[in-house]
Structure 1
Amino acid sequence: MIVDDGGDATLLIHEGVKAEEEFEKSGKLPDPASTDNQEFQLVLTIIRDGLKTDPKRYHKMKDRLVGVSEETTTGVKRLYQMQASGALLFPAINVNDSVTKSKFDNLYGCRHSLPDGLMRATDVMIAGKVSVVCGYGDVGKGCAAALKQAGSRVIVTEIDPICALQALMEGLQVLPLEDVVSEADIFVTTTGNKDIIMVEHMRKMKNNAIVCNIGHFDNEIDMHGLETYPGVKRITIKPQTDRWVFPETNTGIIILAEGRLMNLGCATGHPSFVMPLDV
């Protein structure tokens, strides 16, 4: 049984089985250079190296598996996509959508860990700042509540009309990101989607704006676009806290945890009290 977080182990086995079938048929090995995603490059490298010693390793793993339990929104989305396409190789249990997980861990856990990570990483005074929370699902609700209670003026960006209306009913302003990108001090992505804050958004931000992600993976924030932007300079303030300076303006933004989950990279995640509710 796989107890997965983000669908990474599940992805590895599925990609491994696919690569083994291709290797058996054509002798072709996976090419890590075929993708720009650094984490997927590592997955393909692991599979490629494994094929040289055991060309049936992942088939053996698959045959021994009872199934997978998945505890994150992102991982569950990936599993549903696999199921819809007929690619899912074994049964899956959706832990994420249990009420005790989504309504407690996602909401109250993030309400606790977001300000913890912000203050550990930057020692920023949240009160009086303008904060943008991208997404108003359970994670976004917890983050917006934490920032509001700390004295920040919170603006929400949200494409779902019901969630947007919920934000309005909580007294929060709901606007497109493009309308507020130049005035906010803190940006938090909470969507579980990709390409939320792009490098063009970052170029328009005020000097030393803080940008962080608590949704999932490092592609909610366009880290690849930022890292490859011509002339951009990375200054490491301390581990997991970097200032990126744009050459044309000589102004910079502060990225936490390299665009990955800041409550894990800059803090210690969710308290142990709330985590048992995930199961």
Structure 2
Amino acid sequence: MPLRLAPTFRARLAESARPLIGMWVTSGSPVVAEICAGSGLGWLLVDTEHSPAGLETVESLLRTIAAYPITPMVRAPSGDPVALKQLLDLGAQNVLVPMVDSAEQAEAVVRAVRYPPRGVRGVGSALSRSARWNRVEDYLTKADEFTSLFVQIESTAGVADAAKIAAVDGVDGVFVGPSDLAASMGLLGQQTHPDVTAAVLGTFEAVRAQGKPVGVNAFDPAQAQRYLDAGASFVLVGADVTLLAQGSEALARRHPRNP
């Protein structure tokens, strides 16, 4: 029998009656990824931009996460067509591209994830996990159904062009990154600064006006709730390495070392 792939993140958002809450997986550890996958959260973001995870690691993480009822997304290191092709081929159905500052950049990454004649993605389905080595029926003709593409706005330029970016055909949603956005505004490390928050909320309005879902990174619980109240459809509220760092520090505070 032909194999079936999991629903995309695009489909999950469309069918969900509530926002999807998720967390980052940046450690590269399959053990940690499995623990996170069984948490009951709605989605996981496997990062390759600010983590040590390479292609083999990402493939291992996706296999691990696939055993659980949670949707993984992979953040590419950049919008480079080769990097995107490799992530798609190893089985990433949902891809997030960072640092998209314009509609032209968004159009370029859409082409990178689509097969010709609509795009430039290289054809290697018989060799790759994406099509389960050609065991997924009609993968090549239905590839757009099996994948979803999200872009990350995290600069003042991206905020200014948010409506045009969201309107690009093939962009399934926008994720806002307050950390780099704050830096681009001269407010490094101040993700909850009122000006940064205002820029995020303005981006929400621009994206939602185009009929596209919008998400955001918000580790601060009050800030996360503010963004949810403003219409965020998907939010990242923590990270594996952050939880481990904070948890181990809490243990150390409760059990301080002897002088």
- Structure with the bigger RCO (C-alpha within 8 Å, sep 6+) is 2
